[in-house]
């Protein structure tokens, strides 16, 4: 068995599973901060219970994120030793900074948020919620900066077999990283908006917790609408421009474009076939790809045929992941725009089928987020560091395929149990609601309501 393949499977599985929770924390943290501030200012019971409800959901996400994040920090060393030894002086730094600048902030102030109500002043307590939010976003930033460097290496020099850091600020503030992070954060906020709106819709449909249902739907729909727009433009567009400029092969794979073309068409649907090198049953919109990539309908877009097949990423996966992401993004805009319109007309609460759609679409931003990352990471192949280190040369020399199969099975088992527990706990909290008759979960420092 090929050890690199198993290493890749393990990394893909553990990172995709892990990322489900940062989506939740980055997306829900601003709601936690918002309701905690409102509660501190207004002193209203409605705000206080909303804050506590989302804090509990956030904490479950946070705990699962921490637990599944621990192996991520160390897997570069265990499974990708050659990559780590060669490029550690660059990528080690944003990873170390994540621990020092983001994790401490997040975990210490989450401690204050959860346990500190009786120990600290009200506004300090609310401020802690803001710092937790800042910490979770910063943590995301450092990870994206690391990944952006692997997509588009900058600020480095090559010494022998090693890649050495030459400018930390070039790595941290590369244009690629800034737009990629903006896109990633907006996409997480879309997920946050859909979670809040979806939970609200569930309460309205089931005719309970109505006060909370209304405010959650309103807040979630507005956040969902704003950020599903910003996810596309400007952040997605700028991200795409960087891919066009620095990773043209990935662009060709995303679009399923085999033949280079001036006025290249955009494939709405179609199935790429790498054997015959064409798109099966496509629906094409003429000129649009040239326009989207270069802002000019006559621009020449290079197709996959112009590159050696050894430099191709897995075309099918990249293509489908990209189309799933874009398709879902379009649906998110349509649904939240409709819901916002109905909200404005004060008819949303009566439009039950829109509420149903809001509730049932809750998981789909997760799929769109994961699909987007699949485009980014699978589309980067065969490189682990674009143009510098091939994925095939990056694995640990001393670790055998059999060992990784064993640990992969271990992760599968452990994450299955964790996933079941996570879903059980989250659904139970949602079923109990912000104003439960009895409270099962004991959050320390928070008195149980009678």
- Interface ranges with another protein (CB under 8 A): 60, 63, 66-71, 73-74, 76-79, 81-82, 84-93, 95-101, 103-105, 107-112, 114-116, 119-120, 159, 162, 164-166, 168, 396-399, 403, 406-407, 410, 414, 418, 421, 425, 440-444
- Closest Cα to residue 388, out of 174, 83, 118? 83
Residue among 84 and 260 whose Cβ is closer to another protein: 84
CB of 411 to another protein, least distance (A): 9
CB of 139 to another protein, least distance (A): 11
Asked if residues 156 and 126 have their Cβ atoms less than 8 Å apart, the reply is no
CB of 443 to another protein, least distance (A): 7
Residue 275: is it exposed, middle or buried by C-beta count within 10 angstroms (0-12/13-18/19+)?
exposed
Report how far residue 262's alpha carbon sits from residue 130's, in angstroms, rounded to the nearest whole number. Answer: 49
CB of 110 to another protein, least distance (A): 7
Residue among 66 and 388 whose Cβ is closer to another protein: 66
Residue among 231 and 396 whose Cβ is closer to another protein: 396
Cα diameter, the chain: 70
Asked if residues 342 and 348 have their Cβ atoms less than 8 Å apart, the reply is yes
CB of 392 to another protein, least distance (A): 16
Residue among 162 and 175 whose Cβ is closer to another protein: 162
Asked if residues 163 and 385 have their Cβ atoms less than 8 Å apart, the reply is yes
The CA-based angle 342-36-332, given to 5 degrees, is 30
Report how far residue 66's alpha carbon sits from residue 22's, in angstroms, rounded to the nearest whole number. Answer: 9
Residues 6+ apart with CB under 8 A from 21: 61, 62, 64, 65, 68, 69
DSSP 99-139: IIIIIHHHHHHHHHHHH-TTTS-HHHHHHHHHHHHHHHHHH
CB of 92 to another protein, least distance (A): 3
Residues 6+ apart with CB under 8 A from 213: 200, 201, 202, 203, 204
Residue among 59 and 376 whose Cβ is closer to another protein: 59
Q: What are the backbone dihedrals phi and psi of residue 84, each rounded to the nearest 5 degrees, phi first? A: -65, -45
Residue among 78 and 274 whose Cβ is closer to another protein: 78
CB of 154 to another protein, least distance (A): 14
CB of 133 to another protein, least distance (A): 16
Residue among 119 and 356 whose Cβ is closer to another protein: 119
Q: Which stretches within 280-439 are classed as H helix? A: 288-294, 315-344, 352-360, 364-378, 401-432
CB of 363 to another protein, least distance (A): 22
Residue that has been written with the tokens 């859909």 in this structure: 194
CB of 400 to another protein, least distance (A): 9
Q: Which helix (H) or strand (E) holds 3?
A: helix 3-42
Residues 6+ apart with CB under 8 A from 81: 395, 396, 397, 398, 399
Scored b (16 or more CB within 10 A) or e, 206-222 reads eeebeebbbbbbbbbbb
Residue among 59 and 239 whose Cβ is closer to another protein: 59
The CA-based angle 171-98-109, given to 5 degrees, is 145
Residue among 3 and 186 whose Cβ is closer to another protein: 3
CB of 74 to another protein, least distance (A): 6
Residue among 91 and 195 whose Cβ is closer to another protein: 91
- Closest Cα to residue 77, out of 397, 364, 407, 428? 397
Residue among 300 and 407 whose Cβ is closer to another protein: 407
């Amino acid at each position: 068995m090929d050890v690199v393949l198993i290493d890749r499977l393990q990394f893909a599985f553990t990172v995709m599973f892990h990322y489900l929770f940062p989506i939740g924390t980055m997306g829900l943290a601003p709601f936690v901060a918002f309701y905690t501030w409102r509660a501190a200012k207004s002193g209203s019971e409605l705000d206080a219970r909303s804050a506590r409800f989302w804090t509990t959901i956030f904490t479950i996400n946070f705990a699962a994120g921490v637990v599944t994040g621990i192996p991520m920090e160390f897997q570069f060393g265990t499974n990708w030793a050659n990559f780590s030894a060669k490029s550690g002086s660059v990528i080690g730094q944003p990873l170390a900074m994540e621990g020092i600048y983001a994790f401490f902030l997040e975990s210490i102030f989450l401690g204050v948020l959860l346990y500190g109500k009786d120990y600290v002043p009200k506004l300090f307590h609310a401020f802690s919620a803001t710092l937790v939010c800042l910490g979770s976003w910063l943590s995301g930033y450092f990870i994206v900066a690391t990944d952006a460097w692997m997509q588009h290496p900058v600020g480095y020099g090559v010494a022998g077999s090693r890649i050495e850091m030459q400018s930390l600020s070039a790595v941290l503030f590369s244009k690629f990283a800034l737009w990629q992070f903006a896109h990633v954060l907006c996409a997480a906020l879309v997920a946050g908006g859909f979670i809040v709106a979806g939970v609200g819709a569930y309460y309205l449909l089931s005719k309970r917790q109505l006060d909370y249902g209304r405010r959650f739907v309103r807040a979630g729909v507005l956040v969902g609408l704003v950020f599903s727009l910003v996810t596309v433009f400007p952040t997605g567009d700028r991200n795409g421009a960087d891919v066009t400029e620095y990773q043209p092969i990935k662009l060709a794979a995303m679009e399923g474009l085999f033949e280079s073309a001036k006025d290249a068409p955009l494939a709405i649907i179609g199935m790429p076939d790498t054997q015959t090198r064409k798109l099966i049953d496509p629906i094409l919109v003429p000129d649009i790809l040239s326009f989207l990539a270069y802002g000019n309908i006559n621009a020449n877009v290079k197709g996959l045929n112009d590159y050696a097949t050894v430099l191709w990423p897995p075309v099918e996966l990249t293509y489908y992941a990209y189309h799933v992401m874009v398709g879902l993004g379009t649906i998110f805009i349509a649904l939240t725009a409709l819901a916002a319109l109905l909200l404005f007309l004060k008819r949303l609460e009566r439009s039950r089928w829109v509420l149903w759609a809001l509730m049932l679409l809750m998981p789909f931003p997760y799929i769109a987020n994961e699909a987007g990352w699949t485009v980014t990471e699978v589309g980067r192949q065969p490189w682990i560091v674009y143009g510098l280190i091939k994925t095939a040369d990056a694995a640990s020399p001393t670790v055998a395929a059999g060992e990784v199969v064993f640990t992969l099975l271990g992760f599968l088992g452990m994450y299955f149990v964790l996933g079941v527990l996570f879903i059980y706990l989250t659904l139970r909290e949602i079923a109990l609601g912000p104003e439960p008759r009895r409270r099962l979960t004991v959050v320390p420092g928070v008195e149980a309501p009678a």
